Structure 1
Amino acid sequence: MSRRFVVRSSAAAGALALVLAGSVAASPAGASTAGSHQPPRVPTSVGYGGAVSSLDPVVSEVGLRVLRQGGNATDAAVAMAAAIGVTDPYSAGIGGGGFFVHYDASTGEVETIDGRETAPAGAGPDTFVDPATGRPYPFYPDLVTGGVSVGVPGTPATWDRALERWGTTTLRQALRPATAVAEQGFVVDQLFHDQTLANQARFEAITSTTELFLPDGEAPAVGSVFRNPDLAATYRALAAGGVEAFYEGELAHEIADAVQAPPVAAGTSLPVPAGSMTPADLAAYEVVDRDPTVFSYRGYDVYGMAPPASGGTTVGEALNILEQFDLESLDDAAARHHFFEASALAFADRAAYLGDGDFVDVPVDGLLDDTFAKERVCLLDPQAAAPKPVAPGDARSYDGVCDGAPASGTVPEDTESTSTTNLTAVDKWGDVVEYTLTIEQIGGSGIVVPGRGFLLNNELTDFSIAYDADDPNRIEAGKRPRSSMAPTIVLQDGSPVLALGSPGGSNIISAVSQMLVNRIDLGMTIQEAIAAPRAAPQNGTRTTAEQAYVDAYGTALTAYGHTLVPTANAIGAATAIEIGPDGLLTAVAEPTRLGGGSARVVRPAGQ
């Protein structure tokens, strides 16, 4: 049994074995039409006996089969995550990392696993400085493509630890469905095709990536079948050798080689800077069992991910500020004005304090303290937007008393990508998993490990690019970059009632906060809360918003002093499961964002 972990909280372990009879593939060989022989893309399902939600119908089908064959929520989540590495390789995979949040129905506890990537031992103040020029690398294209931005992956170790703590199956068995999908192929949809085209210049700079994702020099056509036998073989190697097959031995050396000497295509004009990762960095990697963040909001206990994730504290602080107001009694524009202002205050504190808590002192208790929220709410004018950016508060010394006019702050550069993916699972025993995972940029670092079928992350770009010794998010050897991921589980009277999460970089915080406010304060169903248009207020002079949001609220919010900037990009792409009376499950995925997700239940209501 692997022991590649560090304990920061109590641990539990699964004991039963599950044989996953059968496998799942999106389509048989030779399918030629998009949608042929594919599982359904269902945005909402209601029923009993367990449920799953993801952004991909193949992934949700994998999870559903695991639950129907007797697996629990953790078994399903790991199998789904492995399938994501096949069908959505540009968002997540074994070359990346993430955060796993689990509710155990037998103990009533919420526990988490931090599988975030780490900076290699060779990382330091000059990591993002071009040695040829002595100046920082340009963010694009230099830092986003190449080995210099690759962090030590945490995803395989996360799967192993989750199954060890809570699963009823082995990693070998959990990988079987995804291995079948990789071997047999899946039908290419418009999103996969478009994301390949968007990355074509980067992918063409790396020979191994071109071979996998640009066969014959073209992006896979919509409706064609995409197979990844190299990834299938890699999954079989992990199944046979466990996670040690990834972090030690031949594969670890191949990963390090790809980072230190990326397989650059002859004649490429793109810089592809090398990194410093060694096999020793991979061998030293450990996931961390962390205590979750938790705060109370209008009678609910909301659990999230602790630093290096900033989602748990920033969502929590924003909602603690909003709890000082009766949002339900306000009109639409006023409620959203309050949300914008609370978000700005919380983002100011995120920038000031958030980093890897194993390296810097993050005042988590202060940021989530209601007294601190009362002090911050003094700066929220119900009638007008405060000049931006607002300054951070003092989360280490506060008394809840207003202390003068708001000060002006600064907004640090935020380079966190809007890629990533999310999944949700609930089983018939009442266990709940919310899991957000990523390789950072859409397409990660652009480097496919030769012959292995997976992309490496470019997660180190989540550190502050300009090094500042006082910055809590400065890069350091072994440190985990700050993340906005916010996998969230909500309890009421000790029982889970909702689990949700989203991709979207720093917009994750806005998306998750809005969905909670929509559901708890504004009277929306969970389906409506996810489908509703979104904005991404942070702490700047302008707020990005989806066009439908601008159309609905732009004029009214302008009167408060807000400037909305429409974006054609989706703000988040959520999955959620609500647990109702008598175990009724409402599984929900995006109806339209990123083409729509897929939510499935084991036993639909009425059957």
Structure 2
Amino acid sequence: MKFQMHGRVLLLSLLLTGSAAYGADGTPKAAPATATPPPAAQRPGHAGIASANFLATDAGFEVLAKGGNAFDAAVAVASTLSVVEPESSGIGGGFMATLHIAKGNRNVFIDAREMAPMAVNPKDYLNPDGTPNRDTALKGPLSAGIPGEPAGLALLAKRYGRLPLSESLAPAIRIARDGFKPDPRLLASIRDEQKNLERWPASAAKFLPGGKPPVAGETWRDPDQARTWELIAEKGAAGFYRGEVAQKLVDAVHAAGGNWTLQDLANYRAKERTPITIDYRGYQIVTAPPPSSGGVAIAEILNILRGYDLAAMDQAHRVHTIVEAMRRAFRDHNDYLGDPDFVKMPLDMLLSPYYADGLRQSILPDQATPSSMLPHGPAHDPGMHTTHFSIIDKDGNMVGITSTVNYILGSTFVARGTGVLLNDEMDDFALVPDKPNVYGLLGSKANAPAGGKRMLSSMSPSIVIGKDRSAVIGSPGGSTIITQVLEGILHFIDGQSAQQIVADKRYHHQFLPDVVDVEDGAFDAATSATLQKMGYTLKSREGWGFMNVVTWDHRDNKLDAASDPRRPSGLGKVE
């Protein structure tokens, strides 16, 4: 009873203090800039790439060797991952990219998120009793949004690259045509999804050659995907969104009960948006705006944390403070965020340091705040079938791209004659308000499905720029993307190397369920005991995102690239 009363008082304090951040006209007061501006003219003279697959990293360096820049290399890495890591990303999915253009010292964000078809009908995702239909939301063509990756890569190459698109796509086309040996994770993914793949002939033909999953050591080819990338190389985005590929996609989707049209494909555009930029402890953090929820959540958490001296805390109190900030940011994530082209969001409030001041006042120094004291509703375990890569080139251009088909092997539906494995991103909408999606995230009407709308994402590709060091950081991991990238940023600012950052043990809290997911080894026994005394429920969790980081030390002009040791096939490389 004592805590319930205290919680209500604290919640009232939160609301009152948050509202006090606004002037009489209702606009937020600006916070003073504190971060050191990024280095304007410095060039590393060499490049670093970190991705989840060595073939993709090598493809990026192949394109750099042809005279390309970081953005050309990003096209090569992303398209190659589509071939060699289809369980996580690909041509039938989408991505979000945060860019730093060295010339002009500019930051740009590219939104190549998937989009709902115009004929979307929320009733298609409900069972007769009104509960969510997980099959239509996650499997088959009804689960797929209009892909954004081809348009996004074409835009990236045209506006920021140096090479023709055909040069940057050449490695992916060659690997798809000539074949490669799948890594253990892809082989396991195909085995796990075999029954779903068998539901559609083109899916079985691609992933189950001879009627069974490929085995270790076999060479696997994807000539249909090679042909689709060749058309994109020749015609740009039109090679995918118009003409023969578009017709094959629509025909295949309709034959399997989906609702895409040629107009849906023709109308798709990748978009440039203004990234979220905040200052924290002398660093500028450049991160993803909506329809990503990640950048807003990361900014809100860092604004809360700027009021604490984390370095002076023992591990238990540091974790307590960070988890309480996570809890509050995810509560706001659930309530407010959606596609900015459809939803008016209170971003000025959420990103205001004065709003964070109010949230900070509701955090008790030695006690967890039950999420039930910060109103909202049920969820379950997060997942992680996405990919991220980071690049810094010799001129100081930086790019972080997080790409996805959503769940493992996306919808498991391949459109016949294209090699295109469709995403299952429709599940990232709040298909049933206040019911959790596959990652346990709740949503409100702000993220309800509508024709032409982009579903909310957790993807958080981020660039951290400081006087002495800069970094590109990102990770897959479903809803844990946000907290993993946050922890990576904090570790970088604390002075860790790229190798240390990707290897660090992780933890996660997403408001609901009210538990702290913990990687084995993250906390010692004393820390765990202290956190439990504070009121936390700790839950051991396997399976964390495969972070890829490139750092740049401006003091000696040295790059360092590291791929997550949790994924042995990944490669961080500097040349």
Provide TM-score, normalisation by structure 2.
Answer: 0.87
Q: 2:137 aligns with which of 140, 143, 148?
A: 143
Q: Which residue in the other structure is 1:308 paired with? A: 291
| CA distance in structure 2 between the partners assigned to 1:539 and 1:441 by the alignment | 22
Structure 1 residue ranges without an equivalent (≥5): 1-46, 263-273, 392-408, 603-607
Out of 70, 76, 79, which is 2:76 matched to?
79
**Could you tell me which residue of structure 2 aligns to residue 543 of structure 1?**
516
Structure 2 residue 277 is matched with structure 1 residue 282: no
Checking the alignment, whether the CA contact within 8 Å between 1:150 and 1:259 is kept in structure 2 is no
Give the Cα–Cα distance (whole angstroms) in 2 for the partners of residues 496 and 119 of structure 1.
40
Q: How does 1:360-379 map to 2 (within 5 A)?
A: 360-379=343-362
**Counterparts of 2:397 and 2:301, CA distance in 1:** 28
**Corresponding position: 1:518 with 2:478:** no
Question: Which letter does structure 2 place at the counterpart of 1:555?
Answer: A
Q: CA deviation at 1:358?
A: 1.0
Structure 1 residue 440, shift from structure 2 partner: 0.6
Q: Where does residue 557 of structure 2 map in the other structure?
A: 583
**Would the aligned equivalents of 2:114 and 2:148 in 1 still touch at CA under 8 Å?**
yes
Root-mean-square deviation (CA, aligned residues, Å) is: 1.9
8 Å CA contact 2:136, 2:143 repeated in 1: no
Specify the alignment match of 1:459 in structure 2: 425
Q: Which amino acid is 2:289 matched to?
A: A
State the identity %: 35
Q: After superposition, what is the alpha-carbon deviation per residue over 1:377-429, rounded to whole angstroms, capped at 9, x for unaligned?
A: 011112111112452xxxxxxxxxxxxxxxxx113657975211011111111
- C-alpha spacing 1:183/1:326, structure 2 compared with 1 (3 Å): same
* Aligned twin of 2:324: 341
Task: Select the residue among 82, 94, 98 that pairs with 2:95.
Answer: 98
**Per-residue deviation, 1:543:** 1.9
**Alignment match, 2:253:** 259
Q: Which runs of 4+ in 1 moved over 4 A?
A: 412-417, 467-470, 550-553
The correspondence for 1:56, drawn from 15, 33, 53, is: 53
Is 1:181 the counterpart of 2:159? The answer is no
* Inter-partner Cα distance in structure 1 for 2:488 and 2:325: 15
Other structure's SS at 1:579 match? strand
Q: Which residue of 1 aligns with 2:365?
A: 382
How many residue pairs get matched? 521
Name the CA distance, whole Å, in 2 between partners of 1:285 and 1:163.
Answer: 17
Aligned to 1:438: 404
**Residue 491 of structure 1 aligns with which residue?**
465
Does the Cα contact within 8 Å between 1:64 and 1:601 map onto a contact in 2? no
- CA drift of 1:220 comes to 0.9
1:435-494 CA distance string (max 9 Å, x none)? 11111111111111112212001101000121489621111111100000000011225x
In 1, Cα distance between equivalents of 2:319 and 2:502: 16
Checking the alignment, whether the CA contact within 8 Å between 2:80 and 2:171 is kept in structure 1 is yes
**1:545 CA drift (Å):** 1.7
Deviation at 1:229, TM superposition (A): 1.3
In structure 2, the partner of 1:161 is 155
Distance 1:183 1:119 in 2: 31
Equivalent residues of 1:348, 1:390 under 8 A apart: no
Q: Does 1:598 align with 2:571?
A: yes
- 1:296 alignment partner, SS class: strand
Contact 1:154 1:285 in 2 (8 A): yes
Cα offset, 1:257, TM superposition: 2.1
State the Cα distance separating 1:135 from its structure 2 match. 3.7
Distance 1:390 1:349 in 2: 14
Q: Name the counterpart of 2:386.
A: 420
My pick for the range that moved more, 578-587 or 103-112, is 578-587
Specify every segment of 5 or more residues in structure 2 that has no aligned partner in the other structure, as ranges: 1-43, 435-442
Report the 3-state secondary structure (helix = DSSP H, G, I; strand = E; otherwise coil) of the residue aligned with 2:249.
helix
Give the alignment partner of residue 240 of structure 2, picking from 246, 250, 266.
246
The answer to whether the 8 Å contact 2:382/2:478 transfers is yes
In structure 2, C-alpha distance between the alignment counterparts of 1:315 and 1:253, rounded to whole Å: 40
Q: 1:330 to 1:134 in 2, by over 3 A?
A: closer
Tell me how far apart the structure 1 counterparts of residues 420 and 87 of structure 2 sit (CA, whole Å).
9
Contact residue 389 and residue 539 of structure 1 kept, 8 A:
no
1:111 alignment partner in structure 2: 108
Preserved CA contact (<8 Å) 1:308 1:356: yes
Alignment match, 1:355: 338
How big is the shift at 1:142? 3.6
Q: CA deviation at 1:595?
A: 3.1
Secondary structure at the residue paired with 2:227? helix
Structure 1 residue 596 displacement after superposition:
5.1
Cα contact 2:122–2:431 (8 A) shared by 1: no
- The answer as to whether partners of 1:348 and 1:539 remain within 8 angstroms in 2 is yes
Deviates more, 1:63-72 or 1:349-358: 63-72
Equivalent residue of 2:550, what SS?
A: strand
State the AA in 2 paired with 1:534: R
Provide the residue aligned with 1:15 in structure 2: none
Q: Which amino acid aligns with 1:526?
A: A
- Judged with a 3 Å threshold, the aligned counterparts in structure 2 of structure 1 residues 71 and 390 are, in CA distance, closer, same or farther, namely farther
Q: TM-score, normalised by structure 1?
A: 0.83
Amino acid at match of 1:255: L
Pairing partner for 1:121 from 109, 118, 122:
118
SS at match of 1:549: coil
**Cα distance in 2 for residues equivalent to 1:313 and 1:411:** 21
Task: Provide the rounded CA distance (Å) in 2 between the counterparts of 1:289 and 1:467.
Answer: 29
**Higher mean displacement: 319-328 or 60-69:** 60-69
CA distance in 1, matches of 2:264, 2:381: 24
Q: Distance in 2 between matches of 1:319 and 1:90?
A: 32
Q: What amino acid is aligned across from residue 277 of structure 2 in structure 1?
A: V
* 1:568 positional shift: 2.2
Q: Does 1:527 find its partner at 2:499?
A: yes
